[in-house]
Structure 1
Amino acid sequence: MSNIKNQLITAASTTFSKYGYYKTAMEDIAKTAQKAKGSLYYHFGSKELLFEAVVLQELELLKTELTIVFEDQVSDTRVVLHNYMLKRMEVLRHAPNYQETLRPNFYEHYDFVDRVKQEMINWEVEQIVHLIQRGVQKHELELPGDHMVYAQVLVMLLQGLEPNFYLKGEYDRLESHFDSLITIITKGISK
């Protein structure tokens, strides 16, 4: 990606997170980026496409952070799974533009949100399936049946928590309990 596109995405991320998608105008982003508004349209075509790029950047950061967790070959599989859930919540806590996509009125009006989220879900499920298979092979986990189903349910569970954690401001109040709750989940699948 070009340096100018990166600058525009950074400026857009800052502006969208400050004002929200609906209250942000392309002029606001251009002003923050210190570029002409035409430059935004040249590189992205529309406000929606620019916002999509911003959300994709936040999800790429999430993938990068989670990849580090999933690549831990030394720790017990339950520890890696535990770390995955904690890291996922922590990274998304600092992804205000992704959080904006959790609002029902946003999700209903922009098709790209479903596509972008589905790509992330597919990636997460694949990583969790590999992790579960590794845990079963190492005799650390006992999960009979379809590992894909376990992975899908775990991701759905975590996604179900997102609106309350991030939109209703419950993250700070509940953060101190995450470790205990995740321990309960991981003990349930222990051998």
Structure 2
Amino acid sequence: MRVKAKDEILRERILSGADKLFQKYGLAKTTMEDIAREAGKGKSTLYYYFKSKEEIVDAIIYDESDRLFAAIQSAVAEAPTAKDKMKALIVTRFNRLRNLTNLYNALVQEVREALAEQCVNEFSIRYRKQYDLKEAGIIKSILQYGIVTGEFRIFSEKELEMMSFIFMSSQRGLELDLIIHNKLDEILLRLNFLIEIMLSGIRK
């Protein structure tokens, strides 16, 4: 078993403390002073590891995102068919997002704030782009797998890119509507229905 270095342990303590504060008070109301106090360290120690609150938020989201995609890739790899792989992606992603409380709540809160203010902040855009690239890559690989196994018709590279984008955008739009109307329990049911509709059009 790998022994964690002192710096790694302290970094994790800072992120864990910040995570608790973000969940309790929100991103905007939590200060660097609050985070340092929660970690039991001075501000100078905190700034040694993170230059700003935004950098801490980035670290929390990226760490949780790495775990999320590891779980998705594992579930997708175990599913036997392309259709099952697509369902595994959707179900695992949603369940992990609900379990990763800070990531899910942060995304939900940012959606609501962006709608209220009619704007999207720089962090949200940067995170979303990186997240979307990863997920689009997984969706594309599932479509390619379906072509190889004969489940789906043959498509060109450009068509695969387009389908990955359309599937991901449709999924995002559906989630957004359900988040706005506070109907999270209906997401999986409707996402599975979306999968059935979209895959029925590309089956061989």
- Scaled to the shorter chain, the TM-score interval is 0.7 to 0.9
Question: Offset of 1:188 from its aligned partner?
Answer: 3.4
Q: Distance in 1 between matches of 2:87 and 2:118?
A: 31
Figure out how many residues of one structure are paired with residues of the other and give that number. 189
What's the secondary structure of 1:2's corresponding residue? Answer: helix
Mark the CA change 1:148 to 1:106 in structure 2 (over 3 Å): closer, same or farther. Answer: same
Between 173-182 and 82-91, report the one with greater CA deviation.
Answer: 173-182
For residue 98 of structure 1, what is the amino acid of its counterpart? L
Superposed CA deviations along residues 99-158 of structure 1, whole A, max 9, x for unmatched, are: 33333159633x233222211211111121121111111111225441111011111122
TM-score normalised by the chain length of structure 2: 0.79
Mark the CA change 1:181 to 1:147 in structure 2 (over 3 Å): closer, same or farther. Answer: closer
- Greater relative contact order: 1 or 2 (C-alpha under 8 angstroms, separation 6 or more)? 1
Segments of 4+ in structure 1 off by > 4 A?
173-178
Q: Distance in 2 between matches of 1:119 and 1:60?
A: 11
Question: Offset of 1:174 from its aligned partner?
Answer: 4.5
Mark the CA change 1:163 to 1:14 in structure 2 (over 3 Å): closer, same or farther. Answer: farther
Mark the CA change 1:28 to 1:106 in structure 2 (over 3 Å): closer, same or farther. Answer: farther
Q: Distance in 1 between matches of 2:62 and 2:119?
A: 15
Match of 1:154 among 153, 163, 167: 167
Identity across the alignment (%): 24
Aligned to 2:96: 91
Question: Offset of 1:168 from its aligned partner?
Answer: 4.1
Gaps spanning 5+ residues in structure 1: where? none
Aligned to 2:133: 122
Whether the aligned pair in 2 keeps the contact of 1:16 and 1:24 (CA below 8 Å) is yes
Aligned to 2:184: 171
Whether the aligned pair in 1 keeps the contact of 2:140 and 2:164 (CA below 8 Å) is yes
Question: Offset of 1:41 from its aligned partner?
Answer: 2.0
Pair 1:108-2:117 in alignment: no
Q: Please report the RMSD computed on the Cα atoms of aligned residues, expressed in angstroms.
A: 2.4
Pair 1:187-2:200 in alignment: yes
Gaps spanning 5+ residues in structure 2: where? 1-6
Question: Offset of 1:178 from its aligned partner?
Answer: 4.2
TM-score normalised by the chain length of structure 1: 0.84
Whether the aligned pair in 2 keeps the contact of 1:125 and 1:152 (CA below 8 Å) is yes
Aligned to 1:79: 84
Whether the aligned pair in 2 keeps the contact of 1:58 and 1:98 (CA below 8 Å) is no
Mark the CA change 1:144 to 1:160 in structure 2 (over 3 Å): closer, same or farther. Answer: same
